[in-house]
A = this chain, B = another copy of it.
Amino acid sequence: MSKKIKVGMLGIGNVGTGTYRALEMNHDLIAARTGLDIEIVKILNRSPEKDRGISVPAEKYTADVNEILNDPEIDIIAELIGGIEPATSYMAEALSKGKHVVTANKAAIAANGPMLASLAQDNKVMLRFEAAVAGGIPILTSITTALLSNELTQVHGILNGTTNYILSQMSMYGKSYEEVLKDAQEKGFAEADPTADVEGLDAANKLSILISLIFGISASPDAIPTRGITSVSNVDIAFAEEAGYKIKLLGSAERKGDKVYGNVEPVLLPVSHPLASVNNEFNAVFVNGNAVDELMFYGRGAGPLPTGSAVLGDIIGISKRIDKESAYDNLPQLRYDSPLTFAGEGSSKYYVRMAVPEKSGILGKITTIFGEYDISIEVIRQEADKVEGDEQLVSLIVILFDTEKKKLLEALDKILKTDAVHSIENIMRVETR
């Protein structure tokens, strides 16, 4: 009655362990619902002595990747090593040998998506990577199935749990960035080297994948303007909250005409925006479609079991098609063929915090220069408290009406050359809804 599906797994770290456990827990339920008897038959494991907290029969382990890639019995390869190489090469080899591939690897898909997608197509096999974006949240499945009825015009994602945890804790408890980061590292929510998370690089990989799926163009992570959360201070958070905003690190992209604008940066979101209530380690993806209007998908973006849930979901999706001997249908489909072009950062409302000397005439100079650049000021406020570490300086915060980022930077450059401003401390987009 039930069809046997054999899976070879490359890597048994957090995601591999979670995938193995999710299958252990739900194998029988999956079989009852789908008629599929899925088994992970071989696992590439270069440290078999390490205790993973799961009981895997020793004979499933191998230290030789070829034992898995060359096994004619294996239908699906789950690549869960992470990093661009050797993961990309292993996936390319698997696809070339006519094996379906599931991966959680955002870096490899963002870097080598075009090559891997075309290999999959040439070999009439499927390549799936739901786990690569926002962990357990079925956002790629939704975009590439149920939402095909829409032109999606916008995407905004809280795509990194570590940075959302840090910003949430700073906001909730008034703690400093350094304090929260240390605490997050102790709790295992942040890595010893947090660069990829706090500088926004992890989010840029995920946004790159979303841009391909939604807009059908390539925007490599290097081409996406990316700024992390290290410039966000408690002064920014306190001001934003008083003014009715929450600060979130967003990966965003939006189509305007034949251009797609997008970046990764901390953004001021109105508290009424659904993303503003997404706290701590949770992720969420907000999309806007021309028929469906607003949608938000919320859940855990990391962790062994939530990510394993997505990997296993992709394995089931492929297995059902193998079982039915149904035609090749590569979903989600990475596309790079749309006539749109990626154009980096566009225009927006902006928040700027400057450190200024406490003397008269400052505001006049600043507003005059903004005026020269046709940039209108919505809010301007000088903070009473001195800037930390310099008794001569206070914070001056402005919120500016829609302006091009490029023009804003030119104006700020000119302002910096006067004696009115000591330094530009932070620039963040202000999102309206």
* A residues adjacent to B (C-beta < 8 A): 18, 21-23, 25-26, 29-30, 33-34, 130, 136-138, 141-142, 145-151, 216, 272, 274, 277-279, 282, 289-300, 303, 305-306, 308-310, 312-317, 320-321, 324-329, 333, 335
Contacts and interface: CB of A to CB of B under 8 A. Distances in A.
A308 B292 CA distance: 8
Given A291-B308, A308-B291, A320-B329, A130 B148 contact: no
Given A25-B151, A329-B326, A145 B293 contact: no
Contacts of A272: 279
Contacts of A329: 320, 324, 326
A290 B25 contact: yes
A427 B38 CA distance: 47
10 contacts: A26-B290, A26-B291, A33-B335, A145-B313, A146-B310, A149-B310, A277-B277, A292-B300, A294-B300, A325-B327
B324 A30 contact: no
Contact of A292 (B34, B274, B289, B306): B306
A337 to B, nearest CB: 9
B29 A151 contact: yes
Contacts of A312: 149, 291
A190 B284 CA distance: 30
A146 B151 contact: no
A277 B147 CA distance: 24
Given A293-B306, A320-B329, A324-B326, 16 more contacts: A22-B149, A22-B291, A25-B291, A138-B145, A138-B146, A141-B146, A145-B145, A146-B317, A149-B310, A149-B315, A291-B308, A291-B309, A291-B312, A292-B300, A324-B329, A325-B327
